[in-house]
Amino acid sequence: MQTAKSAYSHRRTPGSLEKQFEDRYGRTVEAMVRVPYTTSSFLRIFDFTDIRISLKSSDVERTMQAYRALRPKTNYPFHLGVTEAGTTFHATIKSAIALAGYYSRASVIR
């Protein structure tokens, strides 16, 4: 039997939306929510449930909206963060803004 990782590894590029979701929904909150929801369903087929969901974008507001939209759909824990390829200073500021937003809404991260 294939492992969940090997069976799924050909379907995505780490750090990017899967092509099928980006083609259908664009780089939107809906796409960001559908990918982990679909992926976690796939992983459950292999009885793999020890996961954390990470939604990352360099757009702080879109990332926060995606976490808020996904919370009612799953009980899996979130790995919080913002993707930023800029300078260390710029990335630190964006991450601080996002994390403050997450923590100010405790129901998002429970």
pLDDT exceeds 50 at position 8? no
* Predicted local distance difference test score (pLDDT) of residue 15: 53
Higher pLDDT, 1 or 62: 62
pTM of structure: 0.69
* Predicted local distance difference test score (pLDDT) of residue 105: 66
Reduce the DSSP state of residue 53 to 3 states and report it.
Answer: strand
Query: Residues of 32-49 as b/e, b for ≥16 C-beta within 10 angstroms?
Result: bbbbbbebbeebeeeeee
